Amino acid sequence: MLKRPANSLKTTLKERDPVGKWSRATSSAKFRVWKISQTLLQKYRQHLLQPFRPFPNKRGILFIGYVQAGLGLGESLRGMIKAAAHRGLKFGVYPYRVGVETRIIGEFMPERYDRQHRYDFNMIEVAADQVPAVFRTVDPRHIAGSYNILRTYWELAKAPREWEPMLDGIDEIWVPNQFVHDAFRRIFAGPITIIPPCVVIEDTEYPDRAALGLESNQFYFLFSFDYYSSPHRKNPLGVLDAFLAAFPHHNENVSLVIKSTGSELHHPDIKEKIRVAAEADPRIQLIDKTLSRKEVLGLIRACDCYVSLHRAEGFGLGMVEAMSFGKIVIGTDYSGSTDFLSEDTGYPVAYNLIPVEPNEYTWSSDQVWAEPDLEAAVKAFKLAFSDRDSSRRKAAAGKMLVDRKYGVASVGAEIERRIDELELGRA
């Protein structure tokens, strides 16, 4: 009997074992799939790692903030950028939009937008409590390795202790004046540098009184505020009381314009009081809507005297803009406005410090602010209206001061000076 060779037996068994044959084919296919998947996985890993490769470095400053938004911090940032451009500094712009999507007004210097480079310095202009949001949402390659400067404002005398951990990652703070400097000194151990804001009044044709619905023969006081910025702080009712006390009769050639925004959703009780006062006195004119930047400046230019009986101000942009137009200014002699408003440049109003109530402002615990003295405010209203020679001298001095202190040349030089100091220190 012939014996089948051993290898022949194995071959026969393989032929009769379709499961084994399928298994071997499957194993081979699995290996090929595994090999392909490993190649794809490697490529995917490389793709995932790609965003975290460092950005190429650029000399200069990256300005990060609400450059496209129609709000105070946006206007302030645009001014800083104009000052840097005027000075010829190297810079880029990162338009940060988080939280202000509904207040976008358009692009600003889009040719400078840069999301592809890391700069030596970041100047981040937001409220201090928004710093963590910036660090969460801006690509970390912009932040890591750069010297991070926070440019910010604050209206009350003390920056809240709760902000201290929010400033982790900030190397330096730029503030507009000594008042804000002192507020942050208690919670920030790093350098705090005073860099005045840059206030730019464009040389253009503004709407006149007729276009704004104002009479040609009236003396107009102007008060402007945003309900988003707290009417308790801006104090519109105090302005109404002072105006009516200064001019109780309806036959004076004098009017008060109250410009407001944001009232549909905020503080309806205050809005109602203002409405009732305007209905009772035709000399009080309300403009309760959003105006363009050009229209706002046109309104300031069209009026005779700008009034701010604020309880606290981080700066006081409206007052400075009015001074830039050579207008008379009445303002509370407290907080940020003391940097430019004095007896020489306008009518500062005396005050008493009072506690800030919990519902009146954010982070109000253990805070105080000013209550303008009504008698002093009434006197200022009367003098601004009746003593035209003195008012003109004050207005001229105010214009000279703000043009020098807050112009692009002066602010640009301050930015360059500080950046030069920092570069020498890092060399």
Contact 85, 113 (CB under 8 A): no
With cut-offs at 50, 70 and 90, classify the pLDDT of residue 15. Answer: very low
With cut-offs at 50, 70 and 90, classify the pLDDT of residue 52. Answer: low
- The residue-averaged pLDDT of 257-271 equals 85
pLDDT digits (tens, 9 = 90+) for 305-362: 999 999 999 999 999 999 999 999 999 999 999 999 999 999 999 999 999 999 899 9
| Helical segments of 50-130, H only | 72-87
User: Which residues have CB under 8 Å from 259's CB, separation 6+?
Assistant: 222, 223, 224, 225, 287, 288, 291, 296, 299
Residue 124's DSSP bridge partners are 64, 150
Backbone angles phi, psi at 334, to 5 degrees: -150, 145
Contact 301, 324 (CB under 8 A): no
- Note the pLDDT of residue 252: 84
Within 262-409, strands assigned E span: 284-288, 305-308, 328-332, 347-349, 351-355, 368-372
One-character DSSP codes across 283-309 = TEEEEES---HHHHHHHHHHSSEEEE-
- The residue-averaged pLDDT of 299-308 equals 98
pLDDT digits (tens, 9 = 90+) for 361-414: 999 999 999 999 999 999 999 999 999 999 999 999 999 999 999 999 999 999
- Note the pLDDT of residue 266: 78
Of all helices (H) and strands (E), which one includes residue 369?
strand 368-372
Contact 122, 146 (CB under 8 A): yes
- Domains of the chain and any CATH numbers: 57-199+409-426 (3.40.50.2000), 209-406 (3.40.50.2000)
Least confident of 30-34, 55-59, 301-305: 30-34
Backbone angles phi, psi at 288, to 5 degrees: -110, 75
Residue 257's DSSP bridge partners are 222, 285
Cα distance between residue 316 and residue 151, in whole Å: 16
- Note the pLDDT of residue 27: 52
Q: Which of 352, 313, 307, 309 is nearest to 336 (CA)?
A: 313
Angle between helices 236-246 and 374-386 (to 10 degrees): 60
Q: How far is CA 212 from CA 274, 295, 300, in A?
A: 20, 8, 11
- Note the pLDDT of residue 50: 52
pTM of the model: 0.85
With cut-offs at 50, 70 and 90, classify the pLDDT of residue 54. Answer: confident
Cα distance between residue 67 and residue 65, in whole Å: 6
Q: How far is CA 178 from CA 55, 174, 335, in A?
A: 36, 11, 9
Q: Is the pLDDT of residue 47 over 60?
A: no
Cα distance between residue 80 and residue 304, in whole Å: 28
pLDDT digits (tens, 9 = 90+) for 111-163: 999 999 999 999 999 999 999 999 999 999 999 999 999 999 999 999 999 99
Q: Which of 106, 296, 85 is nearest to 201 (CA)?
A: 296
Least confident of 10-14, 30-34, 96-100, 342-346: 10-14
Cα distance between residue 372 and residue 238, in whole Å: 8
- Note the pLDDT of residue 17: 47
| DSSP assignment letter at 353 | E
Cα distance between residue 303 and residue 322, in whole Å: 9
pLDDT digits (tens, 9 = 90+) for 213-233: 999 999 999 999 988 878 999
Tell me, rounded to whole angstroms, the distance of Cα 83 from its chain centroid. 16
Burial 362-374 (b: 16+ CB within 10 A, else e): ebbeebbbbbbbe
With cut-offs at 50, 70 and 90, classify the pLDDT of residue 10. Answer: very low
Q: How far is CA 211 from CA 199, 215, 234, 299, 303, in A?
A: 25, 10, 27, 10, 13
User: What's the maximum distance between 2 C-alpha atoms anywhere in the chain?
Assistant: 140
With cut-offs at 50, 70 and 90, classify the pLDDT of residue 207. Answer: very high
Q: Is the pLDDT of residue 49 over 80?
A: no
pLDDT digits (tens, 9 = 90+) for 179-206: 999 999 999 999 999 999 999 998 889 9
- Note the pLDDT of residue 410: 98
